Amino acid sequence: MNTDIWKYVGHMPDVSPVHRISLGEGGTPLLRSKSIGPSLGLSNLYFKLEQLNPTGSYKDRFAAAFVSLMKAQGHTLCIATSSGNTGAALSAYCAAAGIRCVLVIVDGAPHAKIRQMQLYGAETIMVSGFGKDTAVTDEVFGQLRLMAAEFRVPLPVSAYAFCPEGMQGVQTIMCELLDELQPRHVFSPSGGGGLTLAMAYGAEIHARSIKPDIMPSIHCVQPEGNDTMATAIRSGASGGIAIPSSTTEVSGLQVPGLLDADLVVQACLASGGNGHVVKDEEVFHWQRLMAQREGVFCEPAGAVALAGLAGAVRRKEVGLDDKIVCLVTGSGFKDMLTVERRFGLPDIQTLTPDQMVNHIRSTEH
């Protein structure tokens, strides 16, 4: 399979091949559910395994597009913000491009993600309250805009409101889905909304060339502690709903600012999609089941789409024979602290050979 996202030239920034930076992103597997789908009564549930991108998340598509554009424009400095995955992706692609990378990190971002950024060579700064408190978040973005203007560099935030060029790379997820499956429904986890909006824009643009039999409905799924769009979509509102702070524990989706919210609400409604609010406990439940019943190890945010779909099935909002895709956005290795805290896994024991044999025999089925 050709894994070069640059084959979708209609979605990508105008960058000469000599400046394109690729680490093998894209072309991720579309896995048909063997267990969870049938248990929900669904005959055609698929997982788009974006955690298999080079740095472990779909944000590699964003970084490939944006860092390539920076290289083409002659930039030698990248200043960005991140809750984790964007920073890891930008760190890796900047390393490949020879660009210095400075990252302002969301308060409480997973330790493993920060170490990943640092190993790629990025400089990391965590700001208290950033990504949790709306006022602090707005202040940080305001200061970074000023600094970006001072240094005459772009500010790569994975949202159309800040960086439509980078988000063009994310649209290639939908290109691959339409080429391979032509799904009826796509369920997307949402923090600031960029990924969900990319699915809508990607469908709209790519459909012009392939003329699919049916256009997918785009569904926005959010943790209830960061419900800036999902309820708005369900109620038919015209735009997002501002919240003072994010209280969800699902890392990566703690985005209290509206960012792309208004456009997401409009795009989901136009596609025939809906908004779905899920509890954190539901997310962790489905994260465990994806690992234990499908062999898919994702971070909590990667299970949000499935949690939303489960609710939609209960409410009879999807057809049981519909082709449905849940986006699995990032690797479970990104947030091992949640695994340790949440799932009560057994202690690792060291046994003698005899004890080993006795233990195995005692647990035979």
Asked if pLDDT for residue 125 goes beyond 60, the answer is yes
* Residue boundaries of the structural domains of the chain: 5-56+165-342, 59-163
Q: What is the rounded distance in angstroms from the CA atom of residue 301 to the CA atom of residue 304?
A: 5
Number of Cβ within 10 Å of residue 142's Cβ equals 10
Check: CB of residue 331 under 8 Å from CB of residue 298: yes
Nearest CA-CA partner of 237 in 220, 212, 217:
220
**According to the model, what pLDDT value does residue 284 have?**
97
pLDDT band at residue 5 under the 50/70/90 scheme: very high
Q: Which of 282, 257, 320, 283 is nearest to 131 (CA)?
A: 257
Spelled out in words, what is the top-level CATH class assigned to the domain 5-56+165-342? alpha beta
Half-sphere exposure of 107 (CA within 13 A, CB side): 17
Query: How sure is the predictor about 365, in pLDDT bands with cuts at 50, 70 and 90?
Result: low
Cα 274 from chain centroid (whole Å): 18
Q: Per-residue confidence at 132, pLDDT binned at 50, 70, 90?
A: confident
328-353 confidence digits (pLDDT tens): 999 999 988 888 889 988 898 899 89
- The pLDDT of residue 3: 52
Chain segment 209-240, per-residue pLDDT in tens: 999 989 999 999 999 999 999 999 999 999 99
What mean pLDDT is predicted for residues 25-36? Answer: 98
* 1 pLDDT above the threshold of 80: no
User: CA 309, 315, 320 angle in degrees (round to 5)?
Assistant: 65
Q: End-to-end alpha-carbon separation of the chain, Å?
A: 41
3-class secondary structure for the chain? CCCCHHHCCCCCCCCCHHHCCCCCCCCCCEEECCCHHHHHCCCCEEEEEHHHCCCCECHHHHHHHHHHHHHHCCCCEEEEEECCHHHHHHHHHHHHHCCEEEEEECCCCCHHHHHHHHHCCCEEEECCCCCCEHHHHHHHHHHHHHHHHHHCCCCCCCCCCCCHHHHHHHCHHHHHHHHHCCCCEEEEECCCCHHHHHHHHHHHHHHHHHCCCCCCEEEEEEEHHHCCCHHHHHCCCCCCCCCCECCCCCCCCCCCCCCCHHHHHHHHHHHCCCEEEECHHHHHHHHHHHHHHHCCCECHHHHHHHHHHHHHHHCCCCCCCCCEEEEECEEHHHHHHHHHHHCCCCCCCCCCHHHHHHHHHHCCC
pLDDT confidence tier of residue 257, bands split at 50, 70 and 90 = confident
d(Cα 156, Cα 160) in Å, to the nearest integer? 10
Rounded to an integer, what distance in angstroms lies between the CA atom of residue 85 and that of residue 89? 6
Q: What is the mean pLDDT of residues 183-188?
A: 98
Alpha carbon of 237 to those of 36, 216, 233, 265: distances in Å? Answer: 32, 21, 6, 8
Mean pLDDT on 189-203: 97
pLDDT given at position 2:
43
pTM metric for this prediction? 0.93
CATH of domain 59-163: 3.40.50.1100
Give the least confident one: 93-102, 123-132, 165-174, 199-208. Answer: 123-132
Inform me whether the pLDDT recorded for 110 exceeds 60.
yes
pLDDT more than 90, % of the chain? 81
The reply to whether 5-56+165-342 and 59-163 are identical in fold is yes
CA separation for the pair 62, 71 (Å, rounded)? 14
Residue pLDDT, tens place only, 164-184: 999 999 999 999 999 999 999
